[in-house]
Amino acid sequence: MLTNVAVLAYEGVAPFELGVLCEAFGLDRTEHGVPRLEFAVCAESRAPIPTSMGFSLMVEEGLERVRDADLVAVPALPRGKAAPEPVLDAIREAYDRGARILSVCSGAFTLGAAGLLDDRECTTHWMYTQELQRRFPRAKVVPEVLYVDTGQVVTSAGTAAGLDACLHIWRQEYGAAVASMVARRAVVPPHRDGGQAQYIARAVPDCDADTLRPLLTWILENLAEEHSVDSLAKRSLMSPRTFARRFRDETGTTPHSWVTAQRVAAAEELLETTEQPVEWIATEVGFGNAAALRHHFQRVRGVSPKQYRRTFCPAPSAATA
């Protein structure tokens, strides 16, 4: 269970990505039912650390603090400058003892320098994926994704995708309800795309167009209804072909895949927060029957609804059997 997080920083650290990690793991949200984590930013020395934005940071904790961490996070750092060897050693030692490692944006280059990307699927900001592959030929770079989770190592794309990866880890460790509260406090949508080793959450562009935002909101409010391309196209006043093309352009996926993902996410939260039987949940989220829910839940989450509920609700009532 995740209880202790250390974030590494050295000269040239990007303040935004560092702030993402502080926001995700460093804030006290116990009043909202979110577990408090031991959290620290760590550096090689206690001298001021120049950031990429022209101001410096004072970091109180040294690299010895990394030894206590369950999760070691690496924010965006300079790609063209060699990482300090003591920082690389701290990352390697954390990995060797079983700590989870997370990189945000160009932090992946630091993981590559530490040897953690060899023969491993990984990602970084889309502008740097070719460079990452060129500099670390043994890495299996996956471009155009939000994050890649290979179990012990999680790499994410730029800026906001780092927060997606953090929420992914919260959900894995503490469940959808806690991850949703963390997201709510950060005023971002909860991204629950994953939960199993080597799962890759494909990048989903922000839906800023007026054409689909009202429709997506309506679908979420009416998941129990039947949704087809024809019915959704009619509601959007488009032909089915135009609707399907625009939906993929604005969400990065098909209507069927998007609706299915939202139904699985809704089922996940109901499994955690209610004691309703699987059949009831299946109907409530629009799968129609328990067999369909089990099929899609197993495919997306890698576990059955019953196993998922047992993980995050250790003592369910007989109604959940």
Per-residue pLDDT band at 190 (split at 50, 70, 90)? low
Task: Please state, in angstroms and as integers, the Cα–Cα distance from residue 167 to each residue in 102, 221, 224, following that order.
Answer: 12, 23, 26
Residue-level pLDDT at 85: 96
Domain that includes residue 260, residue range: 212-312
Do 161 and 238 lie in one domain? The reply is no
Domain annotation covers residue 207: no
* E strand intervals along the chain: 4-8, 38-43, 49-50, 56-57, 61-62, 71-74, 100-104, 121-122, 140-141, 145-149, 153-156, 200-202
Nearest to 18 by CA among 251, 10, 227: 10
Q: Point out the domain boundary residue: 169, 186, 203.
A: 186
On whether both 103 and 231 belong to a single domain, the answer is no
Per-residue pLDDT for 320 more than 80?
A: no
pLDDT of residue 314: 55
Mean pLDDT, the chain, rounded, equals 88
In angstroms, the CA 10 to CA 97 distance is 23
Rg (CA), the chain: 21
What would the mean pLDDT of 215-220 be, rounded to a whole number?
Answer: 91
The answer to whether residue 201 scores a pLDDT higher than 90 is: no
Cα separation of 214 and 182, whole Å? 25
Please give the Cα distance from 114 to 137 (Å, whole number): 14
Q: Does residue 288 share a domain with residue 231?
A: yes
> Is 307 in the same domain as 251?
yes
Residue 160 lies in a domain: yes
Placement of tokens 């101001």 in the chain = 55
pTM (2 decimals)?
Answer: 0.68
Same domain membership, residue 273 and residue 135: no
pLDDT at 206: 44
> Taking residues 80-95, what's their average pLDDT?
94
Q: What is the pLDDT of residues 290-312, one digit of tens each?
A: 999 999 999 887 889 998 888 77
Q: How confident is the model at residue 197 (pLDDT cuts 50, 70, 90)?
A: very low
Q: DSSP letters of 36-103?
A: PPEEEEEESSSS-EEBTTS-EE---EEGGGGGG-SEEEE----SSSPPPHHHHHHHHHHHHTT-EEEE
Out of 11-15, 253-257, 298-302, least confident range: 298-302
The pLDDT of residue 144 is above 80:
no
How sure is the predictor about 210, in pLDDT bands with cuts at 50, 70 and 90? low
Q: Highest-confidence range of 141-145, 210-214, 217-221, by mean pLDDT?
A: 217-221
Same domain, 54 and 106: yes
Tell me if 183 sits within 8 A of 167, measured CB to CB: yes
Give the pairing of strands 145-149 and 200-202.
antiparallel
Give the rounded percent of residues in the chain with a pLDDT score beyond 70. Answer: 90
Q: Decide if pLDDT at 29 tops 90.
A: yes
For residues 168 and 216, state if they share a domain: no
Whether residues 106 and 240 fall in one domain: no
Compute the average pLDDT of residues 157-179: 89
**pLDDT for 11 beyond 90:** yes
pLDDT at position 205 over 90:
no
Here the tokens at position 87 are 């920082």
Shared domain for 217 and 182, answered yes or no, is: no
The CATH number of the domain holding residue 277 is 1.10.10.60
Query: Do 87 and 165 sit in the same domain of this protein?
Result: yes
- Structurally, the chain folds into a number of domains equal to 2
Residue 186 half-sphere exposure, CB side, CA atoms within 13 Å? 26
